[in-house]
Amino acid sequence: MAIVEMELDVADGVRVCGYEHIDGGHAFEVEWELPDECVCEKCHRRQRVRLEWGRRMQVVRDLDVWGQPGFLVYQPPFHRCGWCRHRQWLLPPFKRKHVTVTYRFEEQVLRMMIGSTEEEVARRLGISAEMVRLILKHRLQEERQIDPQRVITDVGLDEISLKKRHKLYATILSDLTDPKQPRILAVAPGRDQAAAETCLKRLSEPQRAQVRNHRTDMSPAYTAAGEALLPHSQQVVDRFHVAKKLGEVVDRVRKKDACLQKEAVCEREETVPLADVGFPQTAAGPDGRGARAPGEAVRADSRPVPAVLFPLGGHGPL
């Protein structure tokens, strides 16, 4: 029998009081400090908390632990108003009302949305695409203020998009001061200069003056927002964005190349029978999966030439 210790990062005031390894995941039973007083949501009277406990345990998705999903589990406490008998939940500090994920899980979802799609993020996290959209919607609705004491020297501006059904773009401002722990500071609808400025204006003026570097893609909108609102900051084109840009360039070159190859192949088709270069001849014509001469795989993904279509590691254009 071995004891395995696990370091967990929990919100201030939250205590882990139980653990269970469930099928393919980790469930942590938590409790937190409850307030002595509260204001009734219905009659708005301030009063001492009259505590009652809900019977059904609540399960909230949290960050992964050791590559498996983590969940926070708790018995929900509520307050019963002494005046109007209205019952209200005493919300835990780690999540918002009416959702079953923690704030930091929401943040992880938004970060993963950078350079990805909602389906992909949903698939990787094992949640629904609907949940991804809901998380972004909640974040866009809130006007969370950034702590003016926070020292921020590096920020990033990124675009995310929800493409399915409703085309929706948003701009995310992240704090990259500690590169190991990027934090999302603000989210605003749109991907234009106004959206970037809305995000940057959540920082106080002295905070904006402290920023030394801002990482963005090559979008002129973000460049303009940086110039307008970050007086002492240098724009850095982020490695990720450079990679994306390079990918686009490679794509363009490849497309051009594909056109050239098309000509070359057409030329060859006139002179050399396909069977001679190793393509199986079937009634439907060459299916592109047969043997081929060395070097032919170079044209693997050039769409315009069906005769040389070839699935590249399962992601080919088939």
State the pairing for strand pair 68-74/77-80.
unpaired
> How large is the greatest C-alpha to C-alpha distance in the chain, in angstroms?
93
**Least distance to Zn ion, CB of residue 136, Å:** 34
Token pair, residue 33, equals: 């400090």
Partner residues linked to 39 by β-bridges:
46
C-beta of residue 278 within 8 angstroms of C-beta of residue 311? no
Residue closer to Zn ion, measured from CB, 81 or 187: 81
Token pair, residue 194, equals: 């106004």
Residue closer to Zn ion, measured from CB, 58 or 88: 88
Q: Distance between CA atoms of 171 and 62, rounded to whole angstroms?
A: 24
**Least distance to Zn ion, CB of residue 50, Å:** 11
**Least distance to Zn ion, CB of residue 48, Å:** 13
List of residues contacting Zn ion (CB under 5 A): 40, 42-43, 81, 83-84, 86
Residue closer to Zn ion, measured from CB, 47 or 58: 47
Q: Distance between CA atoms of 94 and 90, rounded to whole angstroms?
A: 12
Residue closer to Zn ion, measured from CB, 38 or 236: 38
**Least distance to Zn ion, CB of residue 82, Å:** 8
- Please, is 151 exposed, middle or buried when counting C-beta atoms within 10 Å of its C-beta (0-12, 13-18, 19+)? exposed
Residue closer to Zn ion, measured from CB, 40 or 185: 40
C-beta of residue 27 within 8 angstroms of C-beta of residue 59? yes
Residue closer to Zn ion, measured from CB, 19 or 83: 83
**Least distance to Zn ion, CB of residue 86, Å:** 5
Q: Quick one: CA dihedral 139, 145, 151, 155, positive or negative?
A: positive
Residue closer to Zn ion, measured from CB, 81 or 230: 81
**Least distance to Zn ion, CB of residue 87, Å:** 10
Residue closer to Zn ion, measured from CB, 32 or 78: 78
**Least distance to Zn ion, CB of residue 43, Å:** 3
State the pairing for strand pair 51-53/77-80.
antiparallel
Q: Distance between CA atoms of 18 and 99, rounded to whole angstroms?
A: 22
SS3 219: coil
Token pair, residue 126, equals: 């094992």
DSSP secondary structure string for all residues of 33-98: PPPSEEE-TTT--EEE--EEE-SSPEEEEEEEETTEEEEEEEPPEEEE-TTT--EEE---TTS-TT
**Least distance to Zn ion, CB of residue 46, Å:** 10
**Least distance to Zn ion, CB of residue 79, Å:** 9
Residue closer to Zn ion, measured from CB, 47 or 116: 47
C-beta of residue 286 within 8 angstroms of C-beta of residue 305? no
